[in-house]
Structure 1
Amino acid sequence: MLKQITLIALMGLSASAMAGPWQVKVGASSLAPTSDTEIAPGLVVEADQEYGFTPSVEYFFNDNISAELLLAAPFNHDISAQGLGKIAKIKHLPPTITAKYHFKNSTRFTPYVGLGGTAFIAWDEEGAAKDVKEEFGIAGQVGFNYQPADAKNWGVFVDVRYADLSPEVTLDDATAAAVGKSKFNLDIDPIVYTLGYSYKF
Protein backbone atom coordinates (compact mmCIF):
# COMPACT_ATOMS: atom_id res chain seq x y z
CA MET A 1 0.00 0.00 0.00
CA LEU A 2 2.87 2.42 0.84
CA LYS A 3 4.31 1.93 -2.65
CA GLN A 4 1.01 2.82 -4.33
CA ILE A 5 0.46 5.88 -2.08
CA THR A 6 3.98 7.18 -2.81
CA LEU A 7 3.52 6.77 -6.57
CA ILE A 8 0.10 8.47 -6.61
CA ALA A 9 1.32 11.38 -4.45
CA LEU A 10 4.32 12.05 -6.67
CA MET A 11 2.23 11.87 -9.84
CA GLY A 12 -0.11 14.41 -8.28
CA LEU A 13 2.85 16.66 -7.51
CA SER A 14 3.95 16.49 -11.14
CA ALA A 15 0.45 17.12 -12.48
CA SER A 16 0.05 20.25 -10.30
CA ALA A 17 2.73 22.03 -12.33
CA MET A 18 0.80 24.08 -14.90
CA ALA A 19 3.45 26.45 -16.24
CA GLY A 20 7.14 27.13 -15.85
CA PRO A 21 10.57 25.80 -16.80
CA TRP A 22 10.42 22.41 -18.47
CA GLN A 23 13.17 20.05 -19.54
CA VAL A 24 12.93 17.26 -22.11
CA LYS A 25 15.47 14.44 -21.87
CA VAL A 26 16.23 11.74 -24.44
CA GLY A 27 18.36 8.86 -23.26
CA ALA A 28 19.60 5.36 -24.05
CA SER A 29 19.47 2.97 -21.10
CA SER A 30 20.73 -0.40 -19.99
CA LEU A 31 18.36 -2.19 -17.61
CA ALA A 32 20.25 -4.76 -15.56
CA PRO A 33 18.31 -7.05 -13.18
CA THR A 34 20.14 -7.50 -9.87
CA SER A 35 18.22 -10.48 -8.45
CA ASP A 36 17.14 -13.97 -9.43
CA THR A 37 14.41 -16.26 -8.10
CA GLU A 38 14.48 -19.88 -6.95
CA ILE A 39 11.04 -21.19 -7.93
CA ALA A 40 11.82 -24.79 -6.95
CA PRO A 41 14.78 -26.52 -5.23
CA GLY A 42 17.73 -26.07 -7.55
CA LEU A 43 15.68 -24.26 -10.21
CA VAL A 44 16.72 -20.60 -10.48
CA VAL A 45 14.92 -18.22 -12.84
CA GLU A 46 16.30 -14.85 -13.95
CA ALA A 47 15.61 -12.04 -16.43
CA ASP A 48 18.32 -10.92 -18.84
CA GLN A 49 19.85 -7.46 -19.24
CA GLU A 50 18.12 -5.29 -21.83
CA TYR A 51 18.62 -1.95 -23.61
CA GLY A 52 16.02 0.66 -24.46
CA PHE A 53 15.06 4.21 -25.41
CA THR A 54 14.14 6.30 -22.35
CA PRO A 55 12.70 9.80 -22.96
CA SER A 56 11.49 11.82 -19.98
CA VAL A 57 9.86 15.13 -19.11
CA GLU A 58 10.95 17.23 -16.14
CA TYR A 59 9.42 20.27 -14.47
CA PHE A 60 11.53 22.64 -12.32
CA PHE A 61 9.71 24.27 -9.40
CA ASN A 62 12.89 26.27 -8.70
CA ASP A 63 16.64 25.92 -9.27
CA ASN A 64 16.90 22.98 -6.86
CA ILE A 65 13.59 21.09 -6.90
CA SER A 66 12.06 19.26 -9.86
CA ALA A 67 9.74 16.38 -10.73
CA GLU A 68 10.66 13.99 -13.56
CA LEU A 69 8.40 11.55 -15.39
CA LEU A 70 10.19 8.75 -17.24
CA LEU A 71 8.34 7.62 -20.38
CA ALA A 72 10.41 4.68 -21.56
CA ALA A 73 9.73 2.52 -24.57
CA PRO A 74 8.83 -1.11 -23.73
CA PHE A 75 11.64 -3.36 -22.52
CA ASN A 76 11.82 -7.03 -23.58
CA HIS A 77 13.22 -9.58 -21.14
CA ASP A 78 14.11 -13.18 -21.88
CA ILE A 79 13.36 -15.30 -18.80
CA SER A 80 15.74 -18.23 -18.36
CA ALA A 81 15.70 -21.17 -15.96
CA GLN A 82 18.85 -22.91 -14.83
CA GLY A 83 19.29 -26.09 -16.83
CA LEU A 84 16.27 -25.36 -19.05
CA GLY A 85 17.43 -22.29 -20.96
CA LYS A 86 14.93 -19.66 -22.12
CA ILE A 87 11.39 -20.45 -20.97
CA ALA A 88 9.56 -17.16 -21.58
CA LYS A 89 9.71 -13.59 -22.83
CA ILE A 90 8.13 -10.62 -21.05
CA LYS A 91 7.63 -7.15 -22.50
CA HIS A 92 6.84 -4.33 -20.07
CA LEU A 93 6.56 -0.56 -19.64
CA PRO A 94 8.40 1.03 -16.68
CA PRO A 95 6.79 4.49 -16.07
CA THR A 96 8.62 6.20 -13.20
CA ILE A 97 8.08 9.49 -11.37
CA THR A 98 10.75 11.00 -9.10
CA ALA A 99 11.05 14.12 -7.00
CA LYS A 100 14.60 15.43 -7.44
CA TYR A 101 17.03 17.76 -5.69
CA HIS A 102 19.70 19.48 -7.82
CA PHE A 103 22.94 20.60 -6.17
CA LYS A 104 23.55 23.91 -7.97
CA ASN A 105 27.17 25.13 -7.85
CA SER A 106 29.69 27.32 -9.71
CA THR A 107 30.68 24.58 -12.18
CA ARG A 108 28.85 23.33 -15.27
CA PHE A 109 28.19 20.00 -13.56
CA THR A 110 24.93 19.80 -11.60
CA PRO A 111 24.61 16.60 -9.54
CA TYR A 112 21.14 15.47 -8.47
CA VAL A 113 19.39 12.82 -6.42
CA GLY A 114 15.81 11.62 -6.70
CA LEU A 115 13.27 9.43 -4.94
CA GLY A 116 9.90 8.29 -6.20
CA GLY A 117 7.76 5.47 -7.47
CA THR A 118 7.81 3.14 -10.45
CA ALA A 119 5.54 0.58 -12.06
CA PHE A 120 5.98 -2.67 -13.97
CA ILE A 121 3.19 -2.81 -16.55
CA ALA A 122 3.22 -6.05 -18.53
CA TRP A 123 2.84 -5.41 -22.25
CA ASP A 124 2.99 -8.94 -23.62
CA GLU A 125 3.97 -12.45 -22.50
CA GLU A 126 5.29 -15.39 -24.50
CA GLY A 127 6.32 -18.94 -23.71
CA ALA A 128 5.73 -20.38 -20.23
CA ALA A 129 4.61 -17.04 -18.77
CA LYS A 130 0.82 -17.25 -18.95
CA ASP A 131 0.19 -13.99 -17.10
CA VAL A 132 2.25 -11.26 -15.41
CA LYS A 133 0.67 -8.91 -12.88
CA GLU A 134 1.34 -5.19 -12.60
CA GLU A 135 3.76 -4.27 -9.84
CA PHE A 136 4.54 -1.00 -8.05
CA GLY A 137 7.79 -0.15 -6.31
CA ILE A 138 10.06 2.52 -4.87
CA ALA A 139 12.66 4.06 -7.20
CA GLY A 140 15.89 5.93 -6.40
CA GLN A 141 18.04 8.01 -8.74
CA VAL A 142 21.48 9.68 -8.75
CA GLY A 143 23.16 11.50 -11.61
CA PHE A 144 24.43 14.75 -13.04
CA ASN A 145 23.72 17.14 -15.89
CA TYR A 146 26.57 18.86 -17.77
CA GLN A 147 26.04 22.08 -19.72
CA PRO A 148 28.85 23.02 -22.17
CA ALA A 149 30.13 26.60 -22.16
CA ASP A 150 28.49 27.48 -25.49
CA ALA A 151 25.13 25.86 -24.62
CA LYS A 152 22.23 28.03 -23.53
CA ASN A 153 19.51 25.43 -23.06
CA TRP A 154 20.93 22.03 -23.87
CA GLY A 155 23.21 19.63 -22.02
CA VAL A 156 24.12 16.00 -21.53
CA PHE A 157 23.30 13.85 -18.53
CA VAL A 158 24.25 10.57 -16.91
CA ASP A 159 22.19 8.89 -14.24
CA VAL A 160 21.65 5.60 -12.43
CA ARG A 161 18.29 4.41 -11.12
CA TYR A 162 17.31 1.53 -8.85
CA ALA A 163 13.79 0.07 -8.69
CA ASP A 164 12.27 -2.40 -6.24
CA LEU A 165 10.17 -4.62 -8.53
CA SER A 166 9.06 -8.26 -8.19
CA PRO A 167 6.05 -8.90 -10.48
CA GLU A 168 3.99 -12.06 -9.99
CA VAL A 169 4.27 -14.52 -12.88
CA THR A 170 1.72 -17.27 -13.58
CA LEU A 171 3.10 -20.27 -15.46
CA ASP A 172 1.25 -22.31 -18.07
CA ASP A 173 -0.08 -25.69 -16.97
CA ALA A 174 2.71 -27.78 -18.49
CA THR A 175 5.53 -25.74 -16.91
CA ALA A 176 3.70 -25.51 -13.58
CA ALA A 177 3.39 -29.31 -13.49
CA ALA A 178 7.10 -29.71 -14.32
CA VAL A 179 8.36 -27.36 -11.58
CA GLY A 180 5.63 -27.98 -9.02
CA LYS A 181 4.55 -24.34 -8.78
CA SER A 182 2.01 -22.32 -10.75
CA LYS A 183 2.98 -18.80 -9.57
CA PHE A 184 6.10 -17.03 -8.33
CA ASN A 185 7.41 -13.50 -7.83
CA LEU A 186 10.14 -12.70 -10.36
CA ASP A 187 12.72 -10.67 -8.46
CA ILE A 188 14.07 -8.20 -11.04
CA ASP A 189 15.06 -5.20 -8.85
CA PRO A 190 16.83 -3.54 -11.80
CA ILE A 191 19.57 -0.95 -11.94
CA VAL A 192 19.09 1.33 -14.96
CA TYR A 193 22.11 3.13 -16.43
CA THR A 194 21.30 6.06 -18.74
CA LEU A 195 23.26 8.44 -20.97
CA GLY A 196 21.38 11.16 -22.84
CA TYR A 197 20.70 14.66 -24.08
CA SER A 198 18.66 17.32 -22.25
CA TYR A 199 16.97 20.49 -23.46
CA LYS A 200 15.42 23.08 -21.15
CA PHE A 201 12.81 25.63 -22.23
Structure 2
Amino acid sequence: MLTMPVAVVSFAALASLSTAHAGEGDWLVRARVIGVMPSDDAGSVEPAFPGGTVSVDDAWVPELDFTYFVTDRLGLELILATSPHDISGEGDLAALGTVADTMALPPTLTLQYHFNPAGKLRPYAGVGLNYTMFYNEDASSSLENAIGDTSISLDDSFGLALQAGVDVDLNETWFLNADVKYIDINTTAKLNTGGSINTVDVDLDPVVAGIGIGRRF
Protein backbone atom coordinates (compact mmCIF):
# COMPACT_ATOMS: atom_id res chain seq x y z
CA MET A 1 0.00 0.00 0.00
CA LEU A 2 1.29 3.47 -0.89
CA THR A 3 1.97 5.90 1.92
CA MET A 4 0.34 9.33 1.58
CA PRO A 5 3.54 11.17 0.49
CA VAL A 6 4.36 8.48 -2.10
CA ALA A 7 0.78 8.52 -3.39
CA VAL A 8 0.83 12.29 -3.75
CA VAL A 9 4.15 12.19 -5.61
CA SER A 10 2.95 9.38 -7.89
CA PHE A 11 -0.27 11.23 -8.73
CA ALA A 12 1.64 14.42 -9.48
CA ALA A 13 4.02 12.54 -11.77
CA LEU A 14 1.15 10.95 -13.69
CA ALA A 15 -0.65 14.27 -13.99
CA SER A 16 2.47 15.85 -15.47
CA LEU A 17 2.62 13.34 -18.35
CA SER A 18 1.04 15.25 -21.20
CA THR A 19 0.36 13.77 -24.60
CA ALA A 20 1.34 15.04 -28.02
CA HIS A 21 -2.25 15.57 -29.10
CA ALA A 22 -3.03 18.80 -30.92
CA GLY A 23 -5.79 21.27 -30.24
CA GLU A 24 -7.44 23.98 -32.28
CA GLY A 25 -4.83 26.16 -33.98
CA ASP A 26 -1.96 23.67 -33.54
CA TRP A 27 0.23 22.19 -36.26
CA LEU A 28 1.58 18.66 -36.74
CA VAL A 29 4.56 18.04 -39.02
CA ARG A 30 5.30 14.46 -40.05
CA ALA A 31 8.14 12.88 -42.01
CA ARG A 32 7.38 9.47 -43.48
CA VAL A 33 8.83 6.83 -45.75
CA ILE A 34 6.07 5.87 -48.15
CA GLY A 35 5.45 3.14 -50.68
CA VAL A 36 3.54 4.31 -53.76
CA MET A 37 1.98 1.15 -55.16
CA PRO A 38 -0.12 1.62 -58.32
CA SER A 39 -2.99 -0.80 -58.85
CA ASP A 40 -2.77 0.19 -62.49
CA ASP A 41 -5.28 -0.73 -65.16
CA ALA A 42 -4.14 0.33 -68.62
CA GLY A 43 -5.72 0.16 -72.02
CA SER A 44 -4.00 -0.76 -75.26
CA VAL A 45 -1.43 1.43 -77.00
CA GLU A 46 -3.43 2.80 -79.91
CA PRO A 47 -3.37 2.71 -82.85
CA ALA A 48 -0.04 0.99 -83.53
CA PHE A 49 -0.01 -1.64 -80.75
CA PRO A 50 -3.57 -2.83 -80.03
CA GLY A 51 -2.15 -5.96 -78.39
CA GLY A 52 0.26 -4.01 -76.22
CA THR A 53 -0.28 -2.24 -72.92
CA VAL A 54 1.78 -0.95 -69.96
CA SER A 55 2.17 -1.26 -66.20
CA VAL A 56 3.63 1.19 -63.67
CA ASP A 57 6.16 0.09 -61.08
CA ASP A 58 6.09 0.82 -57.32
CA ALA A 59 8.27 3.47 -55.72
CA TRP A 60 9.58 4.09 -52.17
CA VAL A 61 10.33 7.71 -51.30
CA PRO A 62 10.43 10.18 -48.39
CA GLU A 63 7.34 12.29 -47.75
CA LEU A 64 6.57 15.40 -45.70
CA ASP A 65 3.15 16.53 -44.54
CA PHE A 66 1.65 19.37 -42.53
CA THR A 67 -1.60 19.22 -40.54
CA TYR A 68 -3.45 22.27 -39.20
CA PHE A 69 -6.16 21.69 -36.59
CA VAL A 70 -9.33 23.65 -37.30
CA THR A 71 -10.84 22.15 -34.13
CA ASP A 72 -9.62 19.51 -31.66
CA ARG A 73 -11.02 16.80 -33.95
CA LEU A 74 -10.82 18.27 -37.46
CA GLY A 75 -7.49 18.74 -39.22
CA LEU A 76 -6.43 19.79 -42.71
CA GLU A 77 -3.41 17.85 -44.01
CA LEU A 78 -1.26 18.77 -47.01
CA ILE A 79 0.87 15.89 -48.28
CA LEU A 80 4.05 16.62 -50.27
CA ALA A 81 6.19 14.04 -52.07
CA THR A 82 7.52 13.17 -55.49
CA SER A 83 8.15 9.66 -56.77
CA PRO A 84 9.96 8.08 -59.75
CA HIS A 85 8.19 5.36 -61.70
CA ASP A 86 9.30 2.99 -64.45
CA ILE A 87 6.69 2.13 -67.06
CA SER A 88 6.96 -1.42 -68.41
CA GLY A 89 5.59 -2.92 -71.58
CA GLU A 90 3.00 -5.68 -71.33
CA GLY A 91 1.34 -7.94 -73.87
CA ASP A 92 2.89 -7.38 -77.32
CA LEU A 93 5.31 -4.87 -75.74
CA ALA A 94 6.52 -7.12 -72.91
CA ALA A 95 9.77 -8.00 -74.71
CA LEU A 96 10.83 -4.35 -74.52
CA GLY A 97 10.92 -4.37 -70.70
CA THR A 98 10.93 -0.78 -69.43
CA VAL A 99 9.50 1.48 -72.14
CA ALA A 100 9.55 4.81 -70.28
CA ASP A 101 10.03 6.48 -66.92
CA THR A 102 8.48 9.51 -65.28
CA MET A 103 8.35 11.52 -62.07
CA ALA A 104 5.02 12.09 -60.32
CA LEU A 105 4.29 15.06 -58.04
CA PRO A 106 0.94 14.42 -56.29
CA PRO A 107 0.14 17.17 -53.73
CA THR A 108 -2.89 16.01 -51.75
CA LEU A 109 -5.12 17.91 -49.33
CA THR A 110 -7.33 15.93 -46.92
CA LEU A 111 -9.82 16.84 -44.22
CA GLN A 112 -9.20 14.51 -41.28
CA TYR A 113 -11.42 13.48 -38.36
CA HIS A 114 -9.46 12.51 -35.23
CA PHE A 115 -11.37 9.99 -33.11
CA ASN A 116 -9.46 10.23 -29.82
CA PRO A 117 -7.78 13.65 -29.77
CA ALA A 118 -6.77 13.58 -26.09
CA GLY A 119 -5.38 10.04 -26.08
CA LYS A 120 -1.92 8.61 -26.57
CA LEU A 121 -3.24 6.44 -29.43
CA ARG A 122 -5.09 8.68 -31.90
CA PRO A 123 -6.64 7.11 -35.00
CA TYR A 124 -7.96 9.33 -37.78
CA ALA A 125 -9.67 9.11 -41.16
CA GLY A 126 -9.64 11.60 -43.99
CA VAL A 127 -11.05 12.44 -47.39
CA GLY A 128 -9.75 14.99 -49.85
CA LEU A 129 -8.50 15.91 -53.29
CA ASN A 130 -5.35 15.11 -55.22
CA TYR A 131 -3.72 16.87 -58.16
CA THR A 132 -0.92 14.87 -59.78
CA MET A 133 1.60 16.40 -62.16
CA PHE A 134 3.93 14.26 -64.25
CA TYR A 135 7.33 15.54 -65.31
CA ASN A 136 10.69 14.34 -66.70
CA GLU A 137 8.99 11.78 -68.91
CA ASP A 138 11.52 9.83 -71.02
CA ALA A 139 11.29 7.01 -73.51
CA SER A 140 13.62 4.08 -72.88
CA SER A 141 16.36 3.03 -75.27
CA SER A 142 14.59 -0.29 -75.85
CA LEU A 143 11.45 1.51 -77.01
CA GLU A 144 13.37 3.90 -79.25
CA ASN A 145 15.42 1.06 -80.73
CA ALA A 146 12.13 -0.62 -81.65
CA ILE A 147 10.13 2.33 -83.04
CA GLY A 148 12.52 5.29 -83.36
CA ASP A 149 13.10 8.53 -81.44
CA THR A 150 10.04 9.10 -79.25
CA SER A 151 8.92 11.85 -76.90
CA ILE A 152 6.44 11.01 -74.14
CA SER A 153 4.02 13.19 -72.17
CA LEU A 154 1.50 12.25 -69.48
CA ASP A 155 -1.60 14.30 -68.73
CA ASP A 156 -2.00 15.70 -65.22
CA SER A 157 -4.70 14.15 -63.02
CA PHE A 158 -7.31 15.44 -60.56
CA GLY A 159 -9.10 12.99 -58.27
CA LEU A 160 -10.34 11.81 -54.89
CA ALA A 161 -8.12 10.74 -51.98
CA LEU A 162 -9.10 8.56 -48.99
CA GLN A 163 -6.97 8.21 -45.87
CA ALA A 164 -6.68 6.34 -42.57
CA GLY A 165 -3.93 6.44 -40.00
CA VAL A 166 -2.88 6.58 -36.38
CA ASP A 167 -0.53 8.70 -34.24
CA VAL A 168 1.13 7.11 -31.18
CA ASP A 169 2.83 9.30 -28.56
CA LEU A 170 6.50 8.98 -27.71
CA ASN A 171 6.41 11.98 -25.36
CA GLU A 172 4.57 15.29 -25.08
CA THR A 173 6.06 16.60 -28.35
CA TRP A 174 7.01 13.65 -30.58
CA PHE A 175 4.90 10.79 -31.90
CA LEU A 176 5.04 7.86 -34.32
CA ASN A 177 2.71 7.68 -37.29
CA ALA A 178 1.35 5.02 -39.64
CA ASP A 179 -0.79 6.06 -42.58
CA VAL A 180 -2.43 4.59 -45.68
CA LYS A 181 -4.15 6.35 -48.56
CA TYR A 182 -5.98 5.48 -51.73
CA ILE A 183 -5.59 8.09 -54.48
CA ASP A 184 -7.58 8.22 -57.72
CA ILE A 185 -5.01 9.04 -60.44
CA ASN A 186 -5.87 8.68 -64.11
CA THR A 187 -3.71 9.80 -67.02
CA THR A 188 -3.28 9.47 -70.76
CA ALA A 189 0.23 8.90 -72.06
CA LYS A 190 1.04 10.28 -75.50
CA LEU A 191 3.93 8.85 -77.53
CA ASN A 192 5.14 11.03 -80.40
CA THR A 193 7.41 9.17 -82.83
CA GLY A 194 8.36 11.48 -85.68
CA GLY A 195 4.85 12.96 -85.74
CA SER A 196 3.12 9.59 -85.44
CA ILE A 197 1.03 9.64 -82.26
CA ASN A 198 0.12 6.69 -80.04
CA THR A 199 -1.82 7.01 -76.79
CA VAL A 200 -2.61 4.78 -73.82
CA ASP A 201 -5.03 5.44 -70.96
CA VAL A 202 -3.74 4.43 -67.53
CA ASP A 203 -5.64 4.30 -64.22
CA LEU A 204 -2.86 4.26 -61.63
CA ASP A 205 -5.06 4.48 -58.48
CA PRO A 206 -2.17 3.84 -56.06
CA VAL A 207 -2.27 2.72 -52.48
CA VAL A 208 0.21 4.91 -50.57
CA ALA A 209 1.36 3.38 -47.27
CA GLY A 210 3.84 4.99 -44.95
CA ILE A 211 5.41 5.05 -41.51
CA GLY A 212 7.24 7.92 -39.86
CA ILE A 213 7.66 10.33 -37.00
CA GLY A 214 5.92 13.59 -36.22
CA ARG A 215 6.18 16.66 -34.03
CA ARG A 216 3.51 18.93 -32.58
CA PHE A 217 3.91 22.72 -32.75
TM-score normalized by the length of structure 1: 0.81
Single out whichever of 39-48 and 49-58 deviates more from structure 2.
39-48
Taking the TM superposition and a 5 Å limit, the aligned residue runs for 1:134-149 are: 134-148=156-170
Structure 1 residue aligned with 2:41: 36
Structure 2 residue aligned with 1:125: 137
Structure 1 residue aligned with 2:3: none
- The equivalent position to 1:92 in structure 2, one of 94, 104, 115, is 104
Taking the TM superposition and a 5 Å limit, the aligned residue runs for 1:156-195 are: 156-173=176-193, 182-195=198-211
Taking the TM superposition and a 5 Å limit, the aligned residue runs for 1:67-78 are: 67-72=76-81, 74-78=82-86
Confirm or deny: 8 A CA contact 1:63 1:104 kept in the other structure.
no
Superposition deviation, residue 92 in structure 1: 1.6
State the Cα RMSD in Å. 1.9
SS of 2:203's partner is coil
Q: Which runs of 4+ in 1 moved over 4 A?
A: none
Unaligned runs of 5+ in 1: 1-18
- The equivalent position to 2:122 in structure 1, one of 89, 106, 110, is 110
Superposition deviation, residue 42 in structure 1: 3.4
- The equivalent position to 2:69 in structure 1, one of 60, 66, 81, is 60
Confirm or deny: 8 A CA contact 1:120 1:167 kept in the other structure.
no
TM-score normalized by the length of structure 2: 0.76
| Distance (whole Å) between structure 1 residues aligned to residue 41 and residue 55 of structure 2 | 5
Unaligned runs of 5+ in 2: 1-23, 140-149
Identity among equivalent positions (%) equals 30
| Distance (whole Å) between structure 2 residues aligned to residue 69 and residue 63 of structure 1 | 18
| Distance (whole Å) between structure 2 residues aligned to residue 152 and residue 117 of structure 1 | 31
| Distance (whole Å) between structure 2 residues aligned to residue 163 and residue 132 of structure 1 | 17
| Distance (whole Å) between structure 2 residues aligned to residue 98 and residue 195 of structure 1 | 18
Confirm or deny: 8 A CA contact 1:165 1:189 kept in the other structure.
yes
Q: Residue type of the partner of 1:60?
A: F
Q: Residue type of the partner of 2:182?
A: Y
Confirm or deny: 8 A CA contact 2:26 2:68 kept in the other structure.
yes
SS of 1:167's partner is strand
From the CA coordinates, give the structure whose radius of gyration is larger: 2
Superposition deviation, residue 106 in structure 1: 6.8
Confirm or deny: 8 A CA contact 1:171 1:183 kept in the other structure.
yes
List per-residue Cα deviations over 1:45-91 (Å, max 9, x = no partner).
Answer: 1100001111011101122100000111x211100011221100011
Give the direction of change, closer, same or farther, for the CA distance of 1:106–1:120 in structure 2 (3 Å limit): closer
